[in-house]
Amino acid sequence: MTQKTSLLTLLLLLALCLSQPLQAEDGYRLWLRYDQVQEKTRLQQYRQLVSEVVVEGNSPTLAIVRKEIAMGLKGLLSQEVAVGQQASKAGTLLLGTPASSPLVASLQLSDQLKAIGTEGYLILTTQLQGRPATVIAANSDMGVLYGTFCFLRLLQSAEDITKLAINSTPKIQHRVLNHWDNLDRTVERGYAGFSLWDWHKLPGYIDQRYLDYARANASIGINGTVLTNVNANALVLTRDYLVKVKALADAFRPYGLKVYLTARFSAPIEIGGLKTADPLDPTVQSWWNEKSAEIYSLIPDFGGFLVKANSEGQPGPQNYGRNHADGANMLADAVAPQGGIVMWRAFVYDDKEPDDRAKQAYSGFKPLDGTFRKNVMVQVKNGAIDFQPREPFHPLFGAMPKTPIMMEFQITQEYLGQGTNLAYLAPMFRETLLADTHAKGKGSTVAKVIDGTLDNHTLTGIAGVANIGTDRNWTGHLFGQSNWYAFGRLAWNHQLHSEDIAAEWIKMTFNSNANVVIPVQNMMLTSREAVVNYMTPLGLHHIMGWSHHYGPGPWIKDKHRADWTSVYYHRADEQGIGFDRTKTGSNAIAQYYPPVQKLFGNPKTCPEEFLLWFHHVKWDYKVKSGKTLWNELCYRYSTGVDQVRQMQKTWAGLEQHLDDERFTHVASLLKIQEEEAKWWRDACLLYFQTFSKRPIPSDLEKPAQTLEHYMQLDPKFVPGI
């Protein structure tokens, strides 16, 4: 190479480097990006109002507060802001608790602080030593950290901070992620790589990711994490693993994140050498008591156990002729001395049981109301089948007033397009939370059941099955981050609106330019409905591919379990389609309170989105649009595809406002989503047409392939099994 060409190459390389953004926009930073505020007037306002910061007090959590606020302000304000620790000089931003900070104590906030509980916070515009100031105050250091994240969120969203009078308290006590992570690092129903927990290198190696994970959770108020899969492995309860769990718990603690484990019911046999796991056997009880004491000796604030028992092959108390309360209470007694809790899942059904799967959890659990220990919560999925794109609320909500009922949502998109589809789930979560059980008259919403206000419970909880893995952007699909975010925000305050949560997330994740916020918000808000349309419109459910649950499979039948086939659920025949769950059918409807029964029980009043969930409907039945059921089905499936195409268009229009990396990532996935939406539409319509024997309306796009083509597709190595 000549000198001249090498110089040229060097210059070229330099030019290339300069044209790259300074920080790769690979999604790693989530919603905590802290890039400089773009709105000039806001930036000025912030620089004026927050020129000095004081965080009084010392604790690992306050050290995080100090670091976070310094980092946040440095990025957002693009200038160094001094973060002092001494009370000598009042800052314009003061953070602390009355216990940690004499300055906060001097503000006489005790009445306001009394009202916000241990985890809540206040953010107030006030006067401090005769100067205007902003104060973030709480009763605990964690409250201060939550307040810090809230304050930074205001800045990230370019909100006015001149007259703040915020008080915020979580409505639900236990806000927990459930990781379905196996010890070999595979993740059941995980679409974002492998498990974050590197068991092999633990306890010695603390990956920076653990801290970043805990920080992200703290930023949205999540305060618990179940590290292991509900399809549990007893090994995690052995000493070798418990010291690893301890290392994680120690790393998470300053972020207010408690660790929980799944308890395999047969652990006393598998790792304890006992002959039985009968919960009424004293040797079994003492095994669990000792195991629990061992865990607490390592992890003094261990949260407790999550259990899946006697369901889908998991062992449980019924193996010994005992009931779920016997099993839950044994574990509850074991963790009670140290303040632990048990989250006992109601996702229990059996293919040997001839009754409608949708009825089995209610039938099994309702009679046990009032028999659980005080530190047990029964964890109920949002719907009675299994995290389908749309399900009516689970009849157990409102049915067990003497038992704290915990919500289980699925954040990972097992049934909503897995790793490739954009589906913003806040509207789905909200739909269930707002549903009215009528348990104590009108207005007895599911939200009031789980936040404890309906039946006066103080023990309350909500869980989300995590969508997080080792992928650089944490969730595989960038928009998966919005579901982690929305879950946390709703767990803290279920009254937040989906559109507001979306707007917050967009502003923090991209920017607060209205040309970005509004179109992306629109995309997000239609996305879940789009998925319902192209997968399971009008109340259809459980018609996905076998085992991996990827893609359509309405033809699945003749498997070893009928309740895992599709024909069990859609019941299509020459007359019509849908599962009759009224009196003439399985009568699952009787599990709801009378006003709900009445509403769902009549096809005329049943919300159309649940029509085929509760009714077997004739192909020529006239739906609200005036179309026949068959034509409506065809239009809905097609609408779903059109909605994805609209999302693609919207996204394409944003190119100039977004960084290349994330723009291309989402654009490519939307293309895949369009293909998959067409696949669902065509496969389902062709299959159901073999029963309806009616044409697909001529103004709709024709299926691209034959039914036989779709039926022989057999994708291999689908992630998440």
Tell which residue, 349, 352, 417, 346, has the closest CA to residue 382: 346
Contacts (CB under 6 A) with ligand GCW, residues 333-352: 347
Residue from 387, 424, 569, 710 touching ligand GCW (CB under 6 A): that is: 387
Q: Among residues 230 and 677, whose Cβ is nearest to ligand GCW?
A: 230
Q: Among residues 326 and 386, whose Cβ is nearest to ligand GCW?
A: 386
Smallest gap from Cβ 107 to ligand GCW, in A, equals 47
Smallest gap from Cβ 504 to ligand GCW, in A, equals 29
Smallest gap from Cβ 94 to ligand GCW, in A, equals 46
Q: Among residues 297 and 547, whose Cβ is nearest to ligand GCW?
A: 547
Q: Among residues 264 and 308, whose Cβ is nearest to ligand GCW?
A: 308
The 8-class DSSP code of residue 92 comes to S
CB 244 within 8 Å of CB 271? no
455 is catalytic: no
Q: Among residues 188 and 455, whose Cβ is nearest to ligand GCW?
A: 188
Tell which residue, 686, 550, 692, 671, has the closest CA to residue 612: 692
Residue from 26, 52, 188, 455 touching ligand GCW (CB under 6 A): that is: 188
Smallest gap from Cβ 271 to ligand GCW, in A, equals 21
Contacts (CB under 6 A) with ligand GCW, residues 141-180: 180
Residue sitting closest to ligand GCW (CB): 386
The 8-class DSSP code of residue 544 comes to B
Residue from 186, 231, 363, 371 touching ligand GCW (CB under 6 A): that is: 231
CA dihedral over 303, 299, 30, 148, signed as positive or negative: positive
Smallest gap from Cβ 379 to ligand GCW, in A, equals 10
Q: Taking CB under 6 A as the rule, does residue 368 contact ligand GCW?
A: no
Q: Which of 278, 326, 391, 414 is catalytic?
A: 414
Smallest gap from Cβ 605 to ligand GCW, in A, equals 30
Cis peptide upstream of residue 552 (ω within 30 degrees of 0): no
Tell which residue, 307, 280, 296, has the closest CA to residue 336: 296
Smallest gap from Cβ 480 to ligand GCW, in A, equals 17
What phi and psi values does residue 496 have, to the nearest 5 degrees? -65, 150
Q: Taking CB under 6 A as the rule, does residue 25 contact ligand GCW?
A: no
Interatomic CA distance for residues 34 and 716, integer angstroms: 41
The 3-state DSSP composition of the chain as helix, strand, coil percent (nearest 5) reads 45, 10, 45
Interatomic CA distance for residues 537 and 527, integer angstroms: 14
Residue from 56, 141, 386, 436 touching ligand GCW (CB under 6 A): that is: 386
Interatomic CA distance for residues 578 and 541, integer angstroms: 9
Angle between the N-to-C axes of helices 498-509 and 480-492, in degrees from 0 to 180, rounded to the nearest 10: 130
- The SS3 assignment for 265 reads coil
- The SS3 assignment for 258 reads strand
Smallest gap from Cβ 561 to ligand GCW, in A, equals 12
Q: How many residues bind ligand GCW (CB under 6 A)?
A: 11
Q: Among residues 282 and 313, whose Cβ is nearest to ligand GCW?
A: 313
Q: Among residues 180 and 197, whose Cβ is nearest to ligand GCW?
A: 180
Interatomic CA distance for residues 259 and 266, integer angstroms: 21
CA-to-CA dists, residue 8 to 13, 15, 16, 451, 598, angstroms: 9, 10, 12, 66, 79
39 is catalytic: no
Q: Which of 141, 386, 451, 676 is catalytic?
A: 386
Query: CB atoms < 10 A from the CB of 477, how many?
Result: 28
Q: Among residues 191 and 347, whose Cβ is nearest to ligand GCW?
A: 347
Interatomic CA distance for residues 151 and 307, integer angstroms: 37
Smallest gap from Cβ 369 to ligand GCW, in A, equals 22
| CA of residue 18 relative to chain centroid, distance | 39
Residue from 264, 308, 494, 615 touching ligand GCW (CB under 6 A): that is: 308
Q: Taking CB under 6 A as the rule, does residue 189 contact ligand GCW?
A: yes
- 321's CB contacts (< 8 A; 6+ apart) are none
Contacts (CB under 6 A) with ligand GCW, residues 394-433: 414
Dihedral (C-alpha) 679, 181, 470, 205: value to the nearest 10 degrees? Answer: -170
Q: Among residues 561 and 583, whose Cβ is nearest to ligand GCW?
A: 561
Residue from 230, 520, 532, 684 touching ligand GCW (CB under 6 A): that is: 230
- What radius of gyration, in Å, describes the C-alpha atoms of the chain? 27
Smallest gap from Cβ 351 to ligand GCW, in A, equals 14
Helix residue ranges, H only, 20-157 = 40-49, 60-77, 102-105, 110-114, 141-156
159 is catalytic: no
Q: Which of 26, 212, 312, 333 is catalytic?
A: 312
Q: What is the 3-state secondary structure (H, E, C) of 76-127?
A: HHCCCCEEECCCCCCCCEEEECCCCCHHHHCCCCHHHHHCCCCCCEEEEEEE
Q: Among residues 150 and 343, whose Cβ is nearest to ligand GCW?
A: 343
Tell which residue, 275, 280, 279, has the closest CA to residue 265: 279
Report the interface residues with ligand GCW, using CB under 6 A: 180, 188-189, 230-231, 308, 312, 347, 386-387, 414
Please identify every residue annotated as catalytic: 312, 386, 414
